Structure 1
Amino acid sequence: MSQIASHPSGKQLNLRAQVVKTLLAVQNGQSLSSVLNQHIKLVNDKDRGLYHELVLGCLRQWYSLKQVALPLLAKPLDNQALETCLYVGLYQLLCTRTAAHAAISETVNAAKQLGFESMSGLVNAVLRRATRESETFYDVLETSHGLPSWLFKRLKKDWPEHLEQLSQELKYAAPLTLRVNTRQVSRDEYLAILHEEGIEARACQISEVGIVLEQSVHIPDLPGFEAGGFSVQDEHAQLCATLLPSLSGKIVIDACAAPGGKTAHILERDEPKQLIALDHDEKRLKRVTENLERLDLAAPFVHIVTADATTWQAEEKADCIILDAPCSAIGVLRRHPDIRLLRQSTDIAQTVELQKQILNNMWQQLKVGGTLLYITCSILKAENEQQMVDFFANHSNAKEVKIEADWGIEQILGRQLLPQTGQGDGFYYCRIEKTA
């Protein structure tokens, strides 16, 4: 990787240079969420909206922008920072309303500020050519699948009929979806409150407690946020509670629970005898506690436990286990576009193995007659359908309880939801009963 020349003060870098630095951090293996707060502090308040748009947009279109840039270069740059400058410039020219002259001059200045004065002429020439031939390059951007090649191959194998639509869907932002806390307010009542405030929103199609916001809002400013009237949760993730039997009076384990959306949804619907929210990440478990307190759902029978789900032992076997297993998260690529760059082909086998270990251990913690609901936010069959085929082959005391539903795609075992425009992300569900 090319070294960026050190700059006397981060604060003097222009906005495009800040964007390039953030994108370089992701290319070097840091998740966007881990660097965002630190990086955005260096951006003026008035520029933060554009900073967000450029960072997220470039990550979404990363491999498409790469395809646009290749024919514009006589030879590969072999310079990560300069390539990133080009992508940021091309993204502005092809995907935003930024005036071409501003996009070019600001991006060229960013290259200079980052220590590439001698190469800034190349950046200028390439972006000017892209402006002249924007129609051609826009077509390349539109038709490109925009995925790393390893992922494209996997999706082609797993979803041949859905491949084209799927790769296009994954380029766009997912909608912002709320789950109404029905202990406090019905969905229709909350929709009416939003409409009274002049906020555009509509009811979800599949989830009976979900609302899609059709304009950008600052969540904490929405009516009823402090009082716990709703949570932010993807529509397809909201289906979890609808697939469970009544849990009132039962012992329930939410394995891999953080940040607590499913725990809260269960408590909004039922009153278990005991609910254990388990996760190995103590920091993320704090969010479970905060969410339950805000939603007014904290209770003496709710236990938040930091532990490793591959080895943890329950004191008393559970009637129901929700296992939202660690996964590649390819199904939520629209919300976390940095996954495009961070996830590697070799990660999948390791993740499948970890899922297997958690499944085998949690199965031991379930009562005979109990239900385990296996969930991932992946669309890769290795983590979903194939994982379940292997599990059933090795557990003669497991029986699938078919999910009868008009959503998703029926698999050999379980049901798969794919990301859909204006709707939810990619989720997989399989319901298992312990027979002996």
Structure 2
Amino acid sequence: MTPLARLLVASQFAFNIGFFAVLPYLADHLGGALGLGGAMVGFVLGLRTFSQQGLFVVGGALTDHYGPRPVVLVGCALRVAGFVWLAFAASPWSVIGAVVTVGFAAALFSPAVESEVAREALRVEQAGGHRRTRTLARFSAGGQAGALLGPVLGSLLLYGGGAGHFRTSCLAGAGVFLLVLAAHARLLPHTAERTASTEQGGAATEQDGAWRTVLGDRRFLLLALAYSTYLLAYNQLYLALPAELDRATGSQAALGWLFALSSAVVVAGSAPVERLAAGRLGRPAMIRAGLLLISLAFAATAALRALDGLWAAASFTLLLTLGQMLVLPATRALLPDLAGERRLGLATGALSSLSGVVVLAAGAPVGALLEHDGPAPWLLLAVVPLLGLVLVPAQRQATPREPCPPRTTRRRLFQ
């Protein structure tokens, strides 16, 4: 990988360590130490998700306009401030302000980093290097490694329980993001100056045109809908899987082990799976193959749950994770072909925001469906990724590419 790609992969790793050291334990802190009711806890958690996923499109648009560097730096600074605020928040309104700050910070730095790693992967491919999906698979593996280690760090810091331990976890998360902020301020390259037309007042017109181009592109919208089916299915790790473990074993004690299994499989398997799949399939075919595996995850659970619920849960986790390892890098790699490099930030943010809206709208019906016992809910959920499989747009042939924006850099490391 190039030095910039290594920096971005390391960034995703650090982001997830800091995030997962705190957020998995937020609900317990809100309901326990702060004594908030269940409705308020659910509201706060939903607000965090909306302030992050729902506002990705804002961070993506800002990235296209100002470049990734300032957006990443501001996002990291907000995440530090949000975690420090959350560490000392004692009232519902203070908690809400801190959680919104934490979420909006990710809505800035995540689309900036994701779009930049896609650009860098494209540059490497165009220069005759390895496939762009390889860089993006490593990016996903870096994030999953952080997701694997973050909860371990959080559980160590929370050992003994209590508000003081949660405060320590929040401050540790803030410290991680402070280090990330310092590293990016030193190493992340500056983008080139804006063009003369933009400097003379054409920025608003350019942004309006970018919005119309991305959101008016039928192929992009089809990809967003297909990706929504993946995201809806993936969220069942947090909804359907715990419910199935409760039914089968009477507890959720195995849930942490299954999450660790998912993260470990991504970390160890992303590179070989990408080599095997990308060498034989185009990017749209990789997405379809991943969605097919995800559909099989639900179908296998429906078939196995009557025999052994724990094995059903393990097979669901494994097949869903394998599908994720195909869908994520291939989707990110397909975005530059649909949106162009100059609108990649907006496209990355819009993909997440549109998918988030679909998942939010489907959350209540899926929750009601899972209240019914038997294989029927799992078989119905197996249909969802199959719908996405049909929606994946074909790869455009012989499309002229926009040139990647030139860069000016501060350090020879990136020249």
Give your verdict on TM over 0.5.
no
Using structure 1 for the length normalisation, give the TM-score.
Answer: 0.24
Using structure 2 for the length normalisation, give the TM-score.
Answer: 0.25
Say which structure is richer in strand. Answer: 1
Q: Highest CA radius of gyration, 1 or 2?
A: 1
Larger RCO, structures 1/2 (Cα 8 Å, 6+ apart)? 2
